[in-house]
Chains A and B, each alone.
Chain A
Amino acid sequence: MPFHEKLAQHASVIAPAHPGCAQTDENKDIDIIEDVVFHYLEVLDALKLTQFDLVGSCVGGWIAAEIAARHPEKVRKLVLIGATGLFVEGALIGDVFMMAQPEYGSSYASLREMLFSSADQPNALEMFPDGKGRAGGRGAQISDVEIRLTHRLQTPYFYNRPLRNRLHRISCPSLVVWGAKDGFVPRSHGETYAKLIPGAEELKVIPGAGHSVHVEKPDEIAKLVLDFLGE
């Protein structure tokens, strides 16, 4: 994706696909987020990475926060973009599964609206076109990231209650970024991350962008992330 490419111009980027996504095999041992964390610890060990920066969006942000809370010594800097993972009372994460069911058998407009600033945002239309929808569209791989992995996980969907009380263990400088029009993960989740991670800066809200802020504004977000990761 353009966002990854921008980052790669200035840094070495590893962007793994979750098990079961991007046409990889599903990992039948994955039941809870803990299993995903251990999957990635194995990946990081296999790559012989002992210290790294972690950038995660949506479910990726959740996984990043889980890893950083368990292994603060491994994470040099942390960036969370529209991250799921937290339980915030009165602020339910949206039902992306319901929205992924097409209306009138063919319209993915409400899915686009949930995940982007608007239903006719160009990136959204490219990823989730109407008709055969996500499975037929070019964005199939990305939509897999959003949905497939989470299908495997036990409910509640998209959060792990204990994570909130573990965030104080994250010791690195952290940046939390949110789209101003995020219709999937309420902004209060971003505020909670920013408040409870000791090294986090104030929540950075991007005007005009939805949940997939790094897809809608790759240049702006890449610059923001690179500036933060800095030297």
Chain B
Amino acid sequence: MKPVQLFCWHFMAYPYLDKDFDEKQYSGWVTVPNGLWDNHKARGLYQEYIDQLAYADELGFDGMVLNEHHQNIYGLMPSPNLIASALTQRTARGKIIVLGNLLPLHLNPMRVAEEYAMLDQMSNGRLIAGFAPGGGPETFNYDVPSANTREKFWEAADLIVRSWTEDGPFAHEGRYFPLRYVNLWPKPLQQPFPPVWIPGSRSPSTMAEVAKRGYCYFLSSRSHGGETHRAQQEFAAVLEKHGDQYHPFRFGILMSTYVAETDQQARQECEEGVWYFLKNCLKGHLRREGRQLTYGPGVPYIPAAAWREYLKGYTPGRKLLGDVENWEELDASQSIIVGSPETVHRRIQNLIEKAKVGNLLIQFQLGNMPDHLARKSMKLFAEKVAPALRHDSLKQFTKEFPGINVVQAGRHSIERARSRNQRAQGLDSRNRHRCPAALSSWLRRRPLGERKLDAVS
């Protein structure tokens, strides 16, 4: 058993918006005018953010988390793999979690398979590979159509894992990505393949697909009340249905925190960054103000039936996270946990106890929070909060999940994924035609050199 894994997540927000942004601009996503980008101020911004992530590694976090967003002020990482690549060279210890590459936005999933394999090699086997379908805004940015996005997504994800685990060249006869020669160079370093994490927002079908394949489920919700606990229970039930067993490291959540010397000081120091994040970065995403593009009837990948189902428990115009009006309301949402080391420890420990979650993906830098404050909070967390969380969680997990060997459970998952791949391809181990007929006959031919000699003689 191992203690709770604590990862540092950076979204890389654009921090230089004027104070009247919310008043003047309709959205922070998709249509937010890029004329607002200020090259003078933004010079060195990526460096500052990468340095913060490298600092997390120094402080002993279990890893660093990146994700993909396009054309907004919320996250300046259209290509998280570029940042991951930099981190392979700046850090030596922690995991590098890309959560994830948005598969439907890529022309071909092999590009993701290749880049992830490169990152795994470059990081000496530290990659955790996330696959995500992309949210509503990205489907607008990239004109991703379709009710069939999910189908396409899983075909891509399965092809990537197959390309990591099965020797090539083989032909992939998929509906969306037919390929004659799948033959990955380089292979990933971790064997049989890097851990795969899939984000979801409690959709039962995503949970089932994750369970089938033995992957880790990541809850992408930003608020943590009873729903986090419910999501864990739902996922555990789905795993059981698939003949598998829940343990804390099959599940991860996103949270935000700010730690300072006292509760009062913590609030004082982070408040500007928090409100910048809530009012600017979430506008168009988790605010009813303007037009929320993340989920709804016009989002191309939301099937009509899913939207109708969603509406049953939904009050139109209800407040979203970014609509909170005061600190007390925000505090109650448990989205951003602010306070002294004692307060933050108590609240997070409470969350772990209830939700039995083993992977905490924690955002420290919020909105336009200055570098020195983000670093101070990370340091206090690493020194004063993390040790206690690790201690308590190890005790809890050992007691609650006595029969589970985390490594073995992982291996079990991998075997399941493998046999699933084979079943999906209609192959068994005795009868595998890896090459298309034309290719295998070509491979049987003699080398070019010999043939040249033949021609001369």
Q: Which residues of A contact B (CB under 8 A)?
A: 20, 26, 28, 31, 96-106, 130-136, 144, 147-148, 151-157
> Which of B223-231, B286-294, B387-395, B411-419 faces chain A?
B286-294
Tell me the residues in window 258-308 of chain B with beta carbons closer than 8 Å to chain A beta carbons: 288-293, 296-300, 303-304, 307-308
Query: How many Å from the CB of B26 to the closest CB on chain A?
Result: 9
User: Would A130 and B316 be within 8 Å (CB), given that A98-B291, A135-B297, A151-B300 are in contact?
Assistant: yes
CA distance A104 to B317 in the complex (A): 6
Q: Top 7 closest A-B pairs, CB basis?
A: A100-B298, A106-B317, A106-B316, A105-B288, A105-B317, A97-B298, A101-B298
| Contact of B42 with A by CB under 8 A | no
**Residues from chain A with Cβ under 8 Å of B318 in the complex:** 105
Does B298 lie within 8 Å of A99, measured CB to CB?
Answer: yes
CA distance A133 to B143 in the complex (A): 24
CA distance A101 to B298 in the complex (A): 5
| Contact of B436 with A by CB under 8 A | no
> Which of B8-16, B145-153, B154-162, B163-171 faces chain A?
B145-153
User: Would A136 and B311 be within 8 Å (CB), given that A105-B316, A144-B304, A152-B146 are in contact?
Assistant: yes
**Residues from chain A with Cβ under 8 Å of B144 in the complex:** 155
B318 (CB) vs chain A CBs: closest residue: A105
Does B298 lie within 8 Å of A105, measured CB to CB?
Answer: no
CA distance A168 to B148 in the complex (A): 34
CA distance A105 to B316 in the complex (A): 6
| Contact of B82 with A by CB under 8 A | no
| Contact of B140 with A by CB under 8 A | yes
B308 (CB) vs chain A CBs: closest residue: A135
Query: How many Å from the CB of A142 to the closest CB on chain B?
Result: 13
Does B147 lie within 8 Å of A151, measured CB to CB?
Answer: yes
B30 (CB) vs chain A CBs: closest residue: A98
CA distance A106 to B290 in the complex (A): 11
Query: How many Å from the CB of B23 to the closest CB on chain A?
Result: 16
CA distance A20 to B303 in the complex (A): 10
Does A97 lie within 8 Å of B300, measured CB to CB?
Answer: yes
**Residues from chain B with Cβ under 8 Å of A130 in the complex:** 316
**Residues from chain B with Cβ under 8 Å of A148 in the complex:** 147, 304
Tell me the residues in window 389-410 of chain B with beta carbons closer than 8 Å to chain A beta carbons: none
Does A103 lie within 8 Å of B145, measured CB to CB?
Answer: no
B301 (CB) vs chain A CBs: closest residue: A151
Query: How many Å from the CB of A105 to the closest CB on chain B?
Result: 4
**Residues from chain B with Cβ under 8 Å of A133 in the complex:** 297, 316
**Residues from chain A with Cβ under 8 Å of B136 in the complex:** 101
Tell me the residues in window 296-339 of chain B with beta carbons closer than 8 Å to chain A beta carbons: 296-300, 303-304, 307-308, 311, 314, 316-318, 320
**Residues from chain A with Cβ under 8 Å of B291 in the complex:** 98, 101-103
Query: How many Å from the CB of A217 to the closest CB on chain B?
Result: 26
| New contact pairs (17) apart from A28-B148, A101-B298, A151-B300, CB-CB < 8 Å | A26-B303, A97-B300, A98-B293, A99-B298, A101-B291, A101-B293, A101-B299, A102-B291, A102-B297, A102-B316, A105-B288, A106-B288, A135-B297, A135-B308, A135-B311, A155-B143, A157-B143
CA distance A123 to B68 in the complex (A): 42
**Residues from chain B with Cβ under 8 Å of A96 in the complex:** 298
Does B145 lie within 8 Å of A155, measured CB to CB?
Answer: yes
B145 (CB) vs chain A CBs: closest residue: A155
**Residues from chain A with Cβ under 8 Å of B311 in the complex:** 132, 135-136
A100 (CB) vs chain B CBs: closest residue: B298
**Residues from chain A with Cβ under 8 Å of B289 in the complex:** 104
Q: Which of A20, A103, A134, A154 contacts B297 (CB 8 A)?
A: A134
CA distance A102 to B293 in the complex (A): 9
Does B288 lie within 8 Å of A104, measured CB to CB?
Answer: yes
Does A151 lie within 8 Å of B145, measured CB to CB?
Answer: yes
**Residues from chain B with Cβ under 8 Å of A103 in the complex:** 290-291
**Residues from chain A with Cβ under 8 Å of B307 in the complex:** 135
**Residues from chain B with Cβ under 8 Å of A147 in the complex:** 297-298
Query: How many Å from the CB of B147 to the closest CB on chain A?
Result: 5
CA distance A130 to B291 in the complex (A): 14
**Residues from chain A with Cβ under 8 Å of B146 in the complex:** 151-154
Q: Which of A26, A101, A151, A156 contacts B296 (CB 8 A)?
A: A101
**Residues from chain A with Cβ under 8 Å of B297 in the complex:** 100-102, 133-135, 147
Does B292 lie within 8 Å of A105, measured CB to CB?
Answer: yes
**Residues from chain B with Cβ under 8 Å of A106 in the complex:** 288, 316-317
Query: How many Å from the CB of B324 to the closest CB on chain A?
Result: 14
Does A26 lie within 8 Å of B292, measured CB to CB?
Answer: no
Does A20 lie within 8 Å of B304, measured CB to CB?
Answer: yes
CA distance A103 to B298 in the complex (A): 12
Scoring A100, A103, A151 by chain B CB atoms within 10 A of each residue's CB, the highest score goes to: A151
**Residues from chain B with Cβ under 8 Å of A153 in the complex:** 145-146
**Residues from chain A with Cβ under 8 Å of B148 in the complex:** 28, 31, 152
Query: How many Å from the CB of B16 to the closest CB on chain A?
Result: 27
CA distance A136 to B309 in the complex (A): 11
